[in-house]
């Protein structure tokens, strides 16, 4: 049954804003007669109402997970206690594993141009991870007040070559934050990026009620301390929702090696006008490759490819522990198989074991 059909039956519908332990904070989005009556009796009832819900035993038995961002059916609301029960989960339009969130429309990557300085390799890694979700990707560069207009133009030209048109903002000085808001309207957006770049400060600017804890930048590592502990959706004033995610410094390269090249917009552009000779081309040293060339992030591609191949091989070895071969990376996307060493054969015998063997030998001679 669709959301419209549920609404027609008068069933309460809502969106899961946060998940903690076995409880789900659900924001209701339907003003039925019962809610209006409660609002008349209690003017402090939030709009739209929030309920702390549990999951029906039936959902547990069928293994139905409830995620942040899920559209859910709520039964037996206790308005006085602010409680309810999730009876069903509507079909998801999209689903991410890390972070675990449903029905996301786009990803907003936030980086800083200074303090900490912009690192092209790290930015590229985040972009690839975001592209691998299949969602739209927005790139927002904070702390633009710390660089000159000439430096900003250089960064912009460079990223346009990558296939991205960045939004330069300054949360501190309020530069272009309104422009960012327009891109987020009427959508569920996941905000991500390394720690210390101003993600929490941006959310606090866009949503005053969020009041997230802001972390200082570590002087030793020029990186921020992690300030977010769990995933949570915040409602934007002009519609839409923003999901803050736990901070992390380097996303895993867990994509399939053959698919990696499609996560580079500049490579997709090359493949749109020409094709490689081999359908399984990994774009390293294969003949008649349409991708291999002098584009800036080609070196990034080779490094990420090496990581992706190593991870895939590790997964295969875990699935086949009897394998006698291992994959060793040689850098720049190159790798080769080598035989595994039998650890027991080369393990040094401990002195205790040697002493015990000698004692047994003496006893045998006696």
| 342-355 residue pLDDT tens | 544 445 666 667 66
Q: Where does 236-289 show beta strands of DSSP type E?
A: 241-244
Compare 109 and 360 and report the one with higher pLDDT: 109
Average pLDDT, the chain: 82
Write out the two tokens for 252.
């895993």
CATH 3.40.50.300 in the chain, residue ranges: 101-244
pLDDT of residue 228: 45
CATH annotation of 3-91: 2.40.50.140
Q: Count how many Cα atoms sit within 13 Å of the Cα of residue 344 in the half-sphere of its side chain.
A: 0
The pLDDT tens digits of the residues spanning 284-311 come to 999 999 999 889 999 999 999 999 999 8
pLDDT band per the 50, 70, 90 thresholds, residue 359: low
Compare 60 and 4 and report the one with higher pLDDT: 60
CATH 2.40.50.140 in the chain, residue ranges: 3-91
CB 111, CB 155: distance < 8 Å: no
Task: Report the candidate in 300, 286, 291 with the shortest Cα–Cα distance to residue 270.
Answer: 291
CB 145, CB 324: distance < 8 Å: no
The pLDDT tens digits of the residues spanning 136-188 come to 999 999 999 999 999 999 999 999 999 999 999 999 999 999 889 999 999 99
Burial class (CB in 10 A: 0-12, 13-18, 19+), 168: buried
Write out the two tokens for 357.
């063997």
- Positive or negative, the CA dihedral 196, 197, 198, 200 is negative
Write out the two tokens for 323.
């394998």
Give the CATH architecture of domain 101-244. 3-Layer(aba) Sandwich (3.40)
C-alpha Rg value of the chain to the nearest Å: 27
Helices 199-206 and 177-184 sit at what angle, rounded to 10 degrees?
A: 80
pLDDT band per the 50, 70, 90 thresholds, residue 216: very low
């Amino acid at each position: 049954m669709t959301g419209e059909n549920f609404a027609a039956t008068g069933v309460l519908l809502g969106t899961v804003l946060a998940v903690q332990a076995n409880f789900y904070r659900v924001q209701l989005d339907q003003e039925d007669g019962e809610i209006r009556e409660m609002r008349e009796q209690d003017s402090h009832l939030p709009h739209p109402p929030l309920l702390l819900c549990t999951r029906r035993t039936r959902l547990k038995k069928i293994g139905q997970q409830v995620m942040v961002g899920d559209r859910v059916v709520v039964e037996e609301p206790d308005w006085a206690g602010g409680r309810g029960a999730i009876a069903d989960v509507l079909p998801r339009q999209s689903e991410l594993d890390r972070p675990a969130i449903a029905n996301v429309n786009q990803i907003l990557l936030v980086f800083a141009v200074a303090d900490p300085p912009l690192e092209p390799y790290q930015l590229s890694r985040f972009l690839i991870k975001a592209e691998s979700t299949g969602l739209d990707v927005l790139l927002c560069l904070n702390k633009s007040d710390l660089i000159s207009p000439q430096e900003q133009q250089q960064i912009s030209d460079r990223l346009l070559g990558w296939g991205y048109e960045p939004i330069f903002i300054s949360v501190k000085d309020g530069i272009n934050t309104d422009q960012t808001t327009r891109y987020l309207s009427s959508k569920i957006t996941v905000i991500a990026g390394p720690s210390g770049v101003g993600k929490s400060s941006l959310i606090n600017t866009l949503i005053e009620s969020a009041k997230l804890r802001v972390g200082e930048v570590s002087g030793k590592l020029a990186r921020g301390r992690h300030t977010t502990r769990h995933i949570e959706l915040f409602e934007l004033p002009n519609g839409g929702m923003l999901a803050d995610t736990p901070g992390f410094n380097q996303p895993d390269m867990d994509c399939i090696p053959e698919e990696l090249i499609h996560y580079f917009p500049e490579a997709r552009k090359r493949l749109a006008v020409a094709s490689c000779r081999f359908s399984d081309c990994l774009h390293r040293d294969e003949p008649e490759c349409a991708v291999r060339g002098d584009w800036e992030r080609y070196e990034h591609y080779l490094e990420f490819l090496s990581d992706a191949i190593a991870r895939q091989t590790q997964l295969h070895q875990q699935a086949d522990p009897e394998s006698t071969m291992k994959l060793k990376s040689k850098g720049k996307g190159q790798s080769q198989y080598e035989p595994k060493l039998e650890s027991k054969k080369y393990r040094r015998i401990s002195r205790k074991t040697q002493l015990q063997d000698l004692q047994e030998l003496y006893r045998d001679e006696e």
